[in-house]
Structure 1
């Protein structure tokens, strides 16, 4: 975190971290440090190797209750993004929307019963659906169960055949219309751009104009600052870092 802060000249208000089903994310150093430093944790809770039928029938309630108690004990609001990108390659619940929705609702209900009212529930599909999978909104758990809608999406550049360079607006336009219909604030839980196929610096420079003019319900975004699959890092080139520093300092992203 300190290296990123130094690079961009400011401290991001949201910090994304990933945890498995059994991980005690409420007790983790990252979560506690974020809250102590007035950052909002974005906890991405990934149920690898978990049978969603076991969630629904209560077989795993002891784990869920423990997580809920830990969340309540934190005493401050934070984002919880359970089983993100369910409509794409993660395929949580086997691409069965009814199973996914029932599991999500069950976890939410357990947290409610345990009094974990400080949890801000995020529902974040991928920007595109897997081929032959149900459409995005089939997985929506319902207005009572979602505080913020979200989305994960990247500009993958042209490093592979049949990949096209996409602007920030192009990447998010279609799904924005679907999410905006719910009238809830929207968070981009993961985003980034490759360097290959266009100007990553210009891509970044287009983010805030797009948010203002095209996507007013998007109230937060998280950049995936990791060298994984593509050169997503904010310092993948000097021009990219300069553009990112300018974007990060913009008052629109620091309200």
Structure 2
């Protein structure tokens, strides 16, 4: 989305597990408990995936639920995230991180075996928003889709494939899981893999996706890796040479496991809108393209309203958002919990409707989000599950 520069997530290796947050009490009497780190645990057909190794003997009963809840935190390796998970009463099912494809081998290894391991051992499945930037963001050419499909960037793709395969299928311990949200928001005009400049086409995008999918998935099963194809909630396709329909950019059901929509509510972007006004049009478009499970892998709301800030309205919007998610059968939501262009955060930001105390610090938070996370149909990580989620939950088929 053009509202921001994506967060580049691979700037270093996550450190060792941080100290636990103790019991704390909010001004309204709400107590939050510490969450310990988790250490136990035409379409061309894509290439066939191998079998995974034998499962642990223990079985886990299916849970009643309809939506996986996740977050994109400002940081995962500090006390703030400990407090967030304690406040919502458990680890998120999914934690979203951002990474560029074109990186040195050492940086790729550090991100995969450092940051992804840290998120996994905390008890969440990582979702990597994986962006095909190469050399630098500014230097990535508008022909990047054709360049990837033609083999120009095979070296970093091979590095990623090797690192992810080793991470997902470790020599010891249970196999891991990962979502890859690859090359999202191609229906905008702010990323080089869109077609706004006329130097690439939807066919180039599909060829890139299928090339990357076949390469990365070669030694993995769908129980290791799920691919998420995500569009922006509003398109900027007004040029004459490219059809408007997002269906032209869809790689095909054989190459996609989830479909997604990115959308934010902010009064500065076309006025304050209720959730149906933010998402409905694109949700309908996506449903026409595929019946794969639907995810909102980037979503948030600002409290900015008119000339001031209305945290009460944001709190009401959050309640309406989760009702909308239920009504529209959205199987995964990942809240963008960062203070970027505006106050997107629901915990630890500049505003809130309640105050949580931890480590002697008062933290603003939005009560409606905490309430939604505790509802029976919302699924946090599966406690003590060696792979965080059941196969059905990971696939969105629950």
Superposition pairs for residues 168-207 of structure 1, below 5 Å?
Answer: 168-181=275-288, 182-197=290-305, 199-207=313-321
Superposition pairs for residues 14-93 of structure 1, below 5 Å?
Answer: 14-21=94-101, 22=103, 23-24=107-108, 27-48=112-133, 49=140, 51-75=144-168, 76-93=176-193
Greater Cα shift, 227-236 or 141-150: 227-236
SS class of match (2:191): coil
Distance 1:98 1:92 in 2: 15
When residues 141 and 179 of structure 1 are mapped into structure 2, their CA distance, relative to the original with a 3 A threshold, is same
Distance 1:54 1:126 in 2: 23
Alignment counterpart, residue 129 of structure 1, candidates 227, 231, 235: 235
Distance 1:19 1:53 in 2: 21
SS class of match (2:304): coil
SS class of match (1:192): strand
Q: State the shift of 1:27 in Å.
A: 2.2
Distance 1:7 1:222 in 2: 16
Aligned position for 1:237: 352
Alignment counterpart, residue 167 of structure 1, candidates 270, 274, 280: 274
CA RMSD of aligned residues (A): 2.0
Q: Deviations over 1:24-60 (max 9, x none)?
A: 1762422112222331100011122262222111122
Aligned position for 2:249: 139
- 8 Å CA contact 2:187, 2:194 repeated in 1: no
- 8 Å CA contact 1:20, 1:46 repeated in 2: yes
Distance 1:191 1:212 in 2: 15
Distance 1:67 1:138 in 2: 27
Aligned position for 1:3: 83
Q: Does 1:109 align with 2:221?
A: no
Distance 1:9 1:131 in 2: 42
Distance 2:297 2:113 in 1: 20
Q: Does 1:98 align with 2:203?
A: yes
Distance 2:320 2:336 in 1: 17
Gaps of 5+ in 1: none
SS class of match (2:226): strand
Aligned position for 1:222: 334
Q: Which runs of 4+ in 1 moved over 6 A?
A: none
Distance 1:238 1:28 in 2: 38
Q: Does 1:208 align with 2:313?
A: no
Greater Cα shift, 237-246 or 116-125: 237-246
Q: State the shift of 1:108 in Å.
A: 0.6
Structure with the larger helix share: 1
Q: Deviations over 1:135-175 (max 9, x none)?
A: 32321111111000011100112x36xx2111112211111
Give TM-score, length-normalised by structure 2.
0.59
- 8 Å CA contact 1:202, 1:243 repeated in 2: yes
Distance 1:156 1:78 in 2: 30
Give the structure, 1 or 2, with the largest relative contact order (CA under 8 Å, sep 6 or more): 2
